Amino acid sequence: MSESFHQHPLRGLTVDGVAIDEVARALGTPCYIYSAAAIRDAWQALDGAFAGRPHAIHYALKANSTLAIVRLMRALGSHVDANSMGEVDVALRCGFTPREIVFTGVGKSSAELERAVALDFHAINVESPGELDRLDRIAAAKGVKARVALRVNPDIDAESHPHISTGLRDNKFGVPIALARELFVDMTRRAGLTPVGVHIHIGSQITTLAPLAKAAHAASALARELLALGVPLEQIDFGGGLGISYDETPVPDRAAYVRTLVEAAGDIPLTLAIEPGRSIVGPAGVLVSTVVDIKHVPGGRRFVVLDAGMTELMRPALYGAYHRIEPVRPRAGASEPADVVGPICESTDRFARDRALAPLEVGDLVVVRDVGAYGAVLGSTYLRRPLPPEALVDGGTWTTIRRRQTLDELLQLEA
Ligand code: LLP
């Protein structure tokens, strides 16, 4: 839970002292607002918990890759995990060197592998035997060795939402541990490959440490065997996945999570890497929206209709995800249940069902909480809705880090 958001008696909901309605007035709604302090605190909590143990935090850009956020990560000393060439270019433009980037992805094209080899990333997280072969050929033809972290699939249930679980046999990710063992040993004989690490990532929004501990033990056991076999590993990359509390039920804190990984690794003489996304930026962002209609179906539901919908925040429609919603300036009176919906012509365009909400009127501002991760990045322009702006609050002031897209910009690609 972020300490950055507070109700002020006169100024309504604030982010690190900045009134949300002041930002919303200037930018219009819908808009995203992030707290730099909350992001820093979260990153430092993870970093500090390694307590001197050699480690690397590869922030998962997929969670939020707005340039200002990525630059903030760099200023903190973070490294990054890029899942596409677009994210790679974002990282490079923000000043990361290729050796501060790990490159992930379950379907890397030959062109992407070519470029990955040329850039010489810290590691290419490889997902399959076929990809290893392609990478080997590409690197050998250039007379270089690609640095490989092979992703293992430990067949462990992350106990998260099935759509964001990745560590089961049935999932498309990684290779089974027994096969990984063979592939690692084989890699030491390949002209174009250097095995540098074991990689694992069993899913996202994981709210109990048990599956993460189990996966960390599996990866560590494999790494120990490989070291004994003479495979020259440098790191274990435990992936991301630590969940946050969307509904205020307690979740493991960041330090406890890191301690779990450190304990699983025991005395292995390797760098411990992680790829956290949500746990760093998730709680640091809100989506601000205006109530555009309140509709009471006689004898039926009450609908609060917002100017933000699944085009700005896809998580509820995609995963049935829960996000807290609250007025920026609460009115006196009892809460009443309502369905909070967006303006899009899809019935899944609903942020909440039967949610007890303080009294609201048309024109009121509300925030949707904990949208710093997988919020803006998953936005779309369905219905020709331009992408919303984003603001960053830092040191008591705010700046626009992305302005609202215009319709002209949206149509620029078309004849
Ligand atoms: N590493 C790999 C290989 C990943 O696939 C992911 C997330 C991460 C790291 C970062 O995981 P995190 O620490 O953020 O849990 N759109 C979904 C989440 C998809 C996660 C995809 N992979 C959502 O809105 O919940």
Instruction: For 332-343, write each residue's pLDDT tens digit.
Output: 999 999 999 999
Range of the domain at 242: 36-281
Same domain, 58 and 144: yes
Cβ of 131 closer than 6 Å to ligand 1, yes or no, is no
Is the model's pLDDT at 163 over the cut of 90? Answer: no
| Cβ-contact 57, 274 below 8 angstroms | yes
| Cβ-contact 62, 377 below 8 angstroms | yes
Is the model's pLDDT at 313 over the cut of 90? Answer: yes
Same domain, 20 and 166: no
DSSP 246: S
Stretch 138-152: mean pLDDT, rounded?
98
Same domain, 186 and 227: yes
Residue 323, domain CATH: 2.40.37.10
Same domain, 46 and 18: no
Q: Which of 40-44, 93-97, 161-165, 384-388 has the lowest mean pLDDT?
A: 161-165
Same domain, 25 and 115: no
Q: Which residue from 79, 278, 318 has its CB within 8 A of the most atoms of ligand 1, so it is best to mutate?
A: 278
Is the model's pLDDT at 33 over the cut of 70? Answer: yes
Q: Which residue from 59, 62, 171, 207 has its CB within 8 A of the most atoms of ligand 1, so it is best to mutate?
A: 62
Distance 201 CA to ligand 1 centre (A): 9
Residue bearing the CA closest to ligand 1, atom 16? 374
Domain end position, chosen among 215, 250, 281: 281
CA distance linking residue 315 with residue 376, whole number of Å? 10
pLDDT level of residue 164 (50, 70, 90 thresholds): confident
The total number of structural domains that make up the chain: 2
pLDDT level of residue 1 (50, 70, 90 thresholds): very low
Same domain, 9 and 90: no
Residue 276, domain CATH: 3.20.20.10
Residue bearing the CA closest to ligand 1, atom 20? 204
CA distance linking residue 171 with residue 264, whole number of Å? 24
Same domain, 87 and 122: yes
Mean pLDDT for the chain?
Answer: 96
Sign of the alpha-carbon dihedral angle for 142, 145, 147, 150: positive
Same domain, 67 and 93: yes
Please give the residue that has the higher pLDDT: either 297 or 28.
28
Residue bearing the CA closest to ligand 1, atom 23? 374
Same domain, 319 and 347: yes
Please state at what angle helix 209-228 crosses helix 177-187, rounded to 10 degrees.
40
**Which atom of ligand 1 is closest in space to residue 63's alpha carbon?**
14
Q: Which residues are catalytic?
A: 345
